Amino acid sequence: MPLQRRTTVLVLLLLALHLAHVGEEIVGRLFLIDKLGGLVSFIAVNAFFLAVILALIAASWRGRRWSITGLRIWAIVETINGAGHIVATRLDWFERLSTPGWISGIGLLIVGPLLLLSLPKRAVENREPGGEDVLG
């Protein structure tokens, strides 16, 4: 059984917020971009993360039990990322450094925990006729 509709909507919303967040960081010239070796390197790192996220989403739609753990980790990382941008901006920790990402960070801070609450508490092992794990 694939994810419930509400969970699927939250997964897609968090993905959209993640992409908006990366865009906000690029447009606002996040100071870490230069620390990671420039814009091309920053985009490459984020393209890798996007590939992992898309693989987790695809696996969850196919009912793979292990994907729930990956989605939980992703939701936690996005929540911490969003909170970090908001706190850094609010406390002005990086006084002379650019810390864009707080606007989309608000969405990450809201949707990440909602996704965590929406994911199945435990993935029950069921077997399809082909022997594949599915979410129960």
- What pLDDT was estimated at residue 96? 58
Instruction: State yes or no: pLDDT of 132 exceeds 60.
Output: no
Task: Name the residue type at position 70.
Answer: G
Whether 128 maps to a domain, the answer reads: no
Q: Which helix (H) or strand (E) holds 86?
A: helix 66-91
Report the C-alpha gap between 120 and 3 in whole angstroms.
Answer: 8
Per-residue pLDDT tens over the stretch 77-99 = 999 999 998 888 877 766 655 57
Contact 17, 85 (CB under 8 A): no
User: Residues 6 or more apart from 52 whose CB is under 8 A from it?
Assistant: 70
Q: What is the mean pLDDT of the chain?
A: 84
Domain count, the chain: 1
Whether 133 maps to a domain, the answer reads: no
Report the C-alpha gap between 67 and 135 in whole angstroms.
Answer: 9
Whether pTM > 0.75 for this model: the answer is yes
Whether 122 maps to a domain, the answer reads: no
Whether 135 maps to a domain, the answer reads: no
Domain range for residue 82?
5-117
Confidence of residue 40 (pLDDT cuts 50, 70, 90): very high
The SS3 of residue 8 is helix
Whether 50 maps to a domain, the answer reads: yes
Whether 134 maps to a domain, the answer reads: no
- What pLDDT was estimated at residue 111? 97
Whether 43 maps to a domain, the answer reads: yes
Q: Which of 65, 81, 77 minimizes the C-alpha distance to 119?
A: 65
- What pLDDT was estimated at residue 88? 83
Task: Name the residue type at position 89.
Answer: T
Instruction: State yes or no: pLDDT of 136 exceeds 50.
Output: no
Instruction: State yes or no: pLDDT of 1 exceeds 70.
Output: no
Whether 37 maps to a domain, the answer reads: yes
